[in-house]
Structure 1
Amino acid sequence: MNKKFNIQTILIAPLDWGFGHTTRCIPIIQVLLQNNFTVIIAASGKQKILLQQEFPSLTFIDLRGYNISYAKNKFLLPCKILMQVPKILLAIRNEKKWLQFAIEKYKIDVVISDNRYGLHSTKIPCVFITHQLLVKMPFKWLENLAQKINYHFINKFSASWIPDFEGDKNIAGKLAHPSKMPSTAVSYIGLLSRFSKIEEVVMQYNYCIILSGPEPQRTILEDKIFAEINTLKENILLIRGKPDCNKTFKTPDNITIKNHLPGNEISKAMQESNFIICRSGYTTVMEFLSLHKKAILIPTPGQTEQEYLAKKLMQQQWCFSIEQKNFQLQKILADVKLFPFQQPQLTENNLQNKIVELLQNLTIAQD
């Protein structure tokens, strides 16, 4: 038993929506291990593989994901998601039942759920991690309805942790700072990044391209890049975001392709690159901001959150952004050299102290 707390075993469970929810749990897991907690991870598929590579000695439990499928056409995505609502609700109900079993079998004291809505219990403190209190929608009435449904689930948790900063100098804007807040306790825990800055860096690449996110959009963007990449003269590293793939590629000497890299190697590669080309997923944004890197963002078509973030950050000149349908690699590389990047001045946060404080508050509230 951890001497500071009445808790020892903590379950971490990220949503299987790309890798963002998974990778932003890594710094939280590291803090918990540094404070001598026992950490159990619930995941499946590619997300489980990634976390096993980062934490091979931890206990892993198979927990089925929501397994959401996506449309190739961005305008069909809302309909595609709507059609899967019954499947999502069933997954939420099933994971809620699963949690009651897991609490008893693994003697779990606290649950930290990253956007998995069913992982709450009246038996123990349960935390919900999200940066999206406001779910962006094409119509205001639909946005209000989505927020009402979102809060219906969030309010079942003991607390909600928001990976952003309080006040005006924040990353997520209205997504994490809506006018109406949930009734459960909300805490802003600052930027979450698994990466640390390297003191002395020797530049190796002009561009580091990081593919991520759900299919089929990951492959659609990859195909656009492959159509041009071999014609470029600059040094380029492409990380495909496929930890379960062993495919090899024959490329010119200036092009390096990796199926996947562990976190420490991705961090090194990003810092050895002049520019990052990536999706505007929130976790990815936090990672390149934490390293003070210039980025070219390509929001996943139809994901309104990513489209909002990319537009907001480009208006602030924190990054350059382009829609996937307009993406032409050679043209973008020329345009970005003229863009007036501004370095954001974000508050430094001590994640370790914040997490420890919030866990103490949870145990006090539970008593």
Structure 2
Amino acid sequence: MNIITNKKTILIAPLNWGLGHAARCIPIINALLEQQYKPILATDGAALALLKKEFPTLEILELPSYKIEYSKKGENLKWQLLKNSLKTVKAIQQEKKIIKNWIEKYNINGIISDNRLGAFSNKVTSVYITHQLNVLSGNTAWLTSKIHQNIIKKYTECWIPDMEGTPNLTGELGHLEKTNLNLKYIGPLSRLQKKEIDKKYDLMVLLSGPEPQRGILEEKLKIEILNFSGQTIFIKGVVEKNQIKEQVDNVTYYNFMSSIELEQAFNESEMVLCRSGYTTVMDLVKLRKKAFFIPTPGQYEQEYLAEKYKAEGLAPYAIQDDFTMENIKEIDNYRGLPQIDSEINWKCLFQVFETE
């Protein structure tokens, strides 16, 4: 049996694409602290702001932005990402150089990258987290999937936050028929816990994801929510210096919430209206909440998940432009996401950093 005698330093680097990647790293960071590791956190933008609020006493470093920009029209997303690809590649190259320097400067013993392609080193154990072994991108999915799998191949291990068998949450996104990749299915990740408490809200509206689509949906739902008579908590998903709370009739608005506050709000809510982002899906599974999904326009992954859950009779969804508050009643006709009770053996999982 290996005994950890010294605190090993682990760099955790989530992608700044909305808040999902950073949010699902929170339980990993807490587990590292519990197992006597020393986490150093590194990202940029809104993800950086979130982690600073969650872990004010930890070392938090800034990495170059990948310059990921959304288009106002979902069908243009792929071309918008392609247009910015040179900026993204440049940022990844900068990231590699920075991390090479950090390994020496901060005596880093291991890296956990959540979809940050430059967060890797041949000198230390490097783990990659993703739920997208297949990267859906329309008629170029075969190419984007192959490129992503070749990136994964260089890492010591790839952790997939899902179940290997059935039931599972990711379907073809997170499962390959044949592979020589070093994959480890660790089960769903969530920073939240289910609590049996009295319900306070009939509906939780939870927004997330990059601009401008997050803001476009916020403006639409602010109008639609006028047609809902139940008590509503509306979390905009905008991390700012100070939390802002506003009461408008039966709707309580927040710009953002900490993990503890979000956990309370989730447990106090009867149903949830949200994006079909995978981190949100894992939270819903953990908290056993029924949901209505509005996938981000043009984001193939979210569209695939929303279609999958609807086809399986688990949750309804609507295209953003077509959604009306009347649609929320469809939730009653669906079973809800599967109940997956899985406990992560963190000590066993982190043994990858103990192998010399």
TM-score, structure 1 length as denominator? 0.92
Superposed displacement of residue 156, structure 1: 1.6
1:305 equivalent in alignment to 2:326 = no
Q: In 2, distance between residues paired with 1:30 and 1:250?
A: 31
- 1:244-255 equivalent positions in 2, closer than 5 A: 244=240, 251-255=247-251
1:190 equivalent in alignment to 2:187 = yes
Work out whether residues 207 and 276 of structure 1, in 8 Å CA contact, stay in contact via their aligned partners in 2: yes
1:11 equivalent in alignment to 2:36 = no
- 1:344-355 equivalent positions in 2, closer than 5 A: 344-346=338-340, 348-351=341-344, 353=345, 355=346
1:236 equivalent in alignment to 2:232 = yes
Superposed displacement of residue 270, structure 1: 1.0
Q: 1:356 to 1:248 in 2, by over 3 A?
A: closer
168, 171, 174: which one pairs with 2:172? 174
Q: In 1, distance between residues paired with 2:6 and 2:131?
A: 28
Work out whether residues 41 and 60 of structure 2, in 8 Å CA contact, stay in contact via their aligned partners in 1: yes
- 1:220-231 equivalent positions in 2, closer than 5 A: 220-231=216-227
Q: Which runs of 4+ in 1 moved over 6 A?
A: none
322, 328, 337: which one pairs with 1:333? 328
Question: Could you tell me which amino acid in structure 2 is paired with residue 340 of structure 1?
Answer: Y
- 1:259-270 equivalent positions in 2, closer than 5 A: 259-270=255-266
150, 162, 165: which one pairs with 1:164? 162
Question: Could you tell me which amino acid in structure 2 is paired with residue 188 of structure 1?
Answer: Y
Deviations 1:138-183 (A, max 9, x none): 22xx2211112112211121111100001121100000002243x4
Q: In 1, distance between residues paired with 2:212 and 2:256?
A: 18
Superposed displacement of residue 246, structure 1: 5.2
1:85 corresponds to: 85
2:54 corresponds to: 54
202, 208, 213: which one pairs with 1:206? 202
CA RMSD of aligned residues (A): 1.8
Deviations 1:290-334 (A, max 9, x none): 1000001110000000000011111122222111111112x1233
Superposed displacement of residue 363, structure 1: 3.2
1:363 equivalent in alignment to 2:333 = no
Q: In 1, distance between residues paired with 2:296 and 2:161?
A: 21
2:133 corresponds to: 133
Q: In 1, distance between residues paired with 2:155 and 2:7?
A: 17
Q: In 2, distance between residues paired with 1:236 and 1:298?
A: 17
Superposed displacement of residue 350, structure 1: 2.1
Work out whether residues 158 and 184 of structure 1, in 8 Å CA contact, stay in contact via their aligned partners in 2: no
Q: 1:89 to 1:273 in 2, by over 3 A?
A: same
- 1:59-138 equivalent positions in 2, closer than 5 A: 59-138=59-138
Secondary structure class of the residue paired with 2:270: strand
Work out whether residues 288 and 339 of structure 2, in 8 Å CA contact, stay in contact via their aligned partners in 1: no
Work out whether residues 7 and 109 of structure 1, in 8 Å CA contact, stay in contact via their aligned partners in 2: no
Secondary structure class of the residue paired with 1:11: strand
Q: 1:64 to 1:173 in 2, by over 3 A?
A: same
Work out whether residues 109 and 353 of structure 2, in 8 Å CA contact, stay in contact via their aligned partners in 1: no
Q: In 2, distance between residues paired with 1:311 and 1:79?
A: 23
Q: In 1, distance between residues paired with 2:119 and 2:155?
A: 8
Secondary structure class of the residue paired with 1:78: helix
TM-score, structure 2 length as denominator? 0.95
Deviations 1:239-288 (A, max 9, x none): 00011165867643311000001011111111111111110000000001
Identity %: 41
Deviates more, 1:227-236 or 1:286-295: 227-236
Q: In 2, distance between residues paired with 1:250 and 1:185?
A: 48
Superposed displacement of residue 230, structure 1: 3.3
Work out whether residues 245 and 259 of structure 1, in 8 Å CA contact, stay in contact via their aligned partners in 2: no
Q: In 2, distance between residues paired with 1:67 and 1:12?
A: 20
Superposed displacement of residue 6, structure 1: 7.0
1:287 corresponds to: 283
Structure 1: gaps of 5 or more residues:
none
Work out whether residues 5 and 360 of structure 1, in 8 Å CA contact, stay in contact via their aligned partners in 2: no
Secondary structure class of the residue paired with 2:351: helix
Deviates more, 1:144-153 or 1:300-309: 144-153
Deviates more, 1:207-216 or 1:76-85: 76-85
Q: In 1, distance between residues paired with 2:99 and 2:204?
A: 39
Work out whether residues 291 and 336 of structure 2, in 8 Å CA contact, stay in contact via their aligned partners in 1: no
Q: 1:224 to 1:102 in 2, by over 3 A?
A: same
Secondary structure class of the residue paired with 1:321: coil
Q: In 2, distance between residues paired with 1:261 and 1:115?
A: 24
Q: 1:95 to 1:250 in 2, by over 3 A?
A: closer
Secondary structure class of the residue paired with 1:24: helix
Q: In 1, distance between residues paired with 2:252 and 2:12?
A: 34
Superposed displacement of residue 341, structure 1: 1.9
Question: Could you tell me which amino acid in structure 2 is paired with residue 152 of structure 1?
Answer: N
